Amino acid sequence: MKDAAEILCIGTEILLGNIVNTNSADISRGLAELGINMYHHTVVGDNPERLKEALETAFSRSNIVITTGGLGPTYDDLTKETIAAYFGRKLIQHGPSIQSIKSFFRRIGGEMTENNLKQAMMPEGCMVLENHYGTAPGAILEGDGKIAIMMPGPPREMGPMFREQVLPWLAKRSSQVFRSHCIYFFGIGESALEAQLRKEMEQMTNPTLAPYAKEGEVMLRVTACAPSEAEAEALMEPVIQMLQQRFGDLIYGIDVDNLQTAAVRLLREKGLKAATAESCTGGYVAKRITEIPGSSDVFECGIVSYANSVKNKVLGVREETLKQFGAVSPQTAAEMAEGVRNLSGADIGISLTGIAGPGGGSQEKPVGLVYVGVSSPWHSEVKELRLGRGYDKERELIRWLASSHALSLIMGTARMKP
């Protein structure tokens, strides 16, 4: 029988809407990469009857049931009890888990209470999953061709346990290996990309190509299935090469976390430093760059010049420029980029000035009009962006897209370095 899995999330806080169920998405993504079918997600509260019923329903249609939540120390945490009963097992004390719960409390300097030891009671015969980010261990229980995988509810604990312990365990059950690579695009929309790749996407069966739109970006997942990792990689390689040849610099990275990571990496490779002068994005570009550990190697200075006086005094934008063309103009953007480069001594100066909305727009300069400027010894330019779509609440989106364009322009300029 081919594996079919389903997810059963346990927690009244999800039913009350206090928590967004990100665990289900994370687990689903992992199983999809292994090629394991998934037909249902279910959420129930911390209620023993409904939990039991949901578990029976789940096992009536799937052989793998993955639960999150209900492993905590309080009386209403009943996942292990319910699943052990379903499998006809008892709960027994698990020595190593007691030790690691004790050492966890020593480490964080908190006080352990008696009920924390409830978390070390595990179903007889289960495989215990260590929790490196909290006190509740997880467990895998097998019997009668059925598999129950129990993980804690907090995503910070569930995530690493799933990726580091559960996914490898599931992958070992399969004679096939699934591998995928994620190709990230900026500067081309999903439908344009799909139109250019429609034939390939329809005809290819192994590897497969699947596009996912993110805000202002597209991710293309290439997935191959083969008896070994090396064979899966060999299937994907020519496809990735074809994509690189066809799309060139529209691809900002492969298997990279995001645009800012790719930008910091490229700057480091090229031995370059960038500096930012931001108006409408108000520090968003600097914030995204400095998210990346070690970004201090490539970034030293950012100026948020909301006021014209700061553009003039700190960045050296000329008063005549501001007066004649306005703060939102290609001329101001050019002088901001040059100004922050001079001020900081960086190789690449990047600037943003525009109208993020909702107010401040005009016929001539509507909400969403943004100028992104770059200044470097080998290349300078200003791009005009039109990011507004006329919605009420698009300030965040406009700022996000503008900051992405700035990061992309940093990358483009770094690539041109003679």
Q: Which of 54, 150, 218, 336 binds a copy of itself (CB under 8 A)?
A: 54
Looking at the Cβ atoms of 257 and 269, the one nearer to a copy of itself is 257
Burial degree of 261 (CB within 10 A; 0-12, 13-18, 19+): buried
Torsion sign (Cα): 166, 172, 174, 180: positive
Among 48, 50, 228, 229, interactor with a copy of itself by CB under 8 A? 50
Among 34, 43, 121, 188, binds a copy of itself (CB under 8 A): 43
Q: According to CB under 8 A, which residues from 229 to 288 bind a copy of itself?
A: 276, 278, 281-287
Q: Which residues are within 8 A (CB) of 159 and not within 5 positions of it... i.e. 6 or more apart? A: 26
Distances (CA, A) of 224 to 14, 167, 175, 201: 35, 17, 14, 13
Nearest of 68, 8, 63 to residue 37 by alpha carbon: 63
Out of 399, 404, 409, 411, name the contact with a copy of itself by CB under 8 A.
399
389 binds a copy of itself, rule: CB under 8 A = yes
Q: What are phi and psi of 387, to 5 degrees?
A: -105, -5
Q: What residues between 277 and 316 interact with a copy of itself by CB under 8 A? A: 278, 281-287, 289-291, 293-296, 299-307, 309-310, 313-314
Contacting residues for 315 by C-beta, under 8 A, at least 6 apart: 277, 303, 305, 335, 336, 339, 340, 343
Angle at 26 between CA 20 and CA 28, to 5 degrees: 110
Taking the complex as a whole, how short is the minimal distance between the CB of residue 357 and a copy of itself, in angstroms?
7
Query: Shortest Cβ distance from residue 405 to a copy of itself (Å)?
Result: 16
Q: How far is the CB of 292 from a copy of itself (least distance, A)?
A: 9
| Residue 111 in the binding site for a copy of itself (CB under 8 A) | no
Task: Map the footprint of a copy of itself across residues 139-178, applying CB under 8 A.
Answer: none
In whole angstroms, the minimum distance from the beta carbon of 353 to a copy of itself comes to: 12
The smaller minimum CB distance to a copy of itself, of residues 20 and 242, is found at: 20
Q: Which stretch binds a copy of itself (CB under 8 A): 27-35, 122-130, 241-249, 380-388?
A: 27-35
| Cα dihedral value 303, 307, 309, 314, nearest 10 | 0
**Closer of 87 and 133 to a copy of itself (Cβ):** 133
Number of neighbours of residue 135 by Cβ within 10 angstroms:
23
Q: Phi and psi for 404 in degrees, rounded to 5?
A: -65, -45
What DSSP string runs through 242-280? HHHHHHGGGEEEES-S-HHHHHHHHHHHHT--EEEEEST
Q: Does 108 bind a copy of itself (CB under 8 A)?
A: yes
Which residue from 14, 166, 209, 259 is in contact with a copy of itself, where contact means CB under 8 A?
A: 14
Residue from 1, 2, 17, 114 touching a copy of itself (CB under 8 A): that is 17
Q: Within 13 Å, how many C-alpha atoms sit on residue 62's CB side? A: 23
Q: Which is nearer to a copy of itself, 248 or 293 (CB)?
A: 293
Tell me the C-alpha distance between 281 and 278, whole Å: 6
Answer whether 4's CB lies under 8 Å from 61's CB.
yes
Please identify, using beta-carbon distances, which residue of 11 and 412 lies nearer to a copy of itself: 11
Site for a copy of itself in 338-367 (CB under 8 A): 343-345, 356-359
Q: Specify the stretch interacting with a copy of itself by CB under 8 A; choose among 24-32, 141-149, 167-175, 373-381.
A: 24-32
Q: Which residues pair with 93 in a beta bridge?
A: 121
- Binding window for a copy of itself (CB under 8 A); candidates: 15-23, 83-91, 238-246, 247-255: 15-23
21 binds a copy of itself (CB under 8 A): yes
Q: Does the N-terminal peptide bond of residue 330 adopt cis geometry, omega within 30 degrees of 0?
A: no
- How many residues touch a copy of itself under the rule CB under 8 A: the total is 77
Q: Is 205 in the site for a copy of itself (CB under 8 A)?
A: no
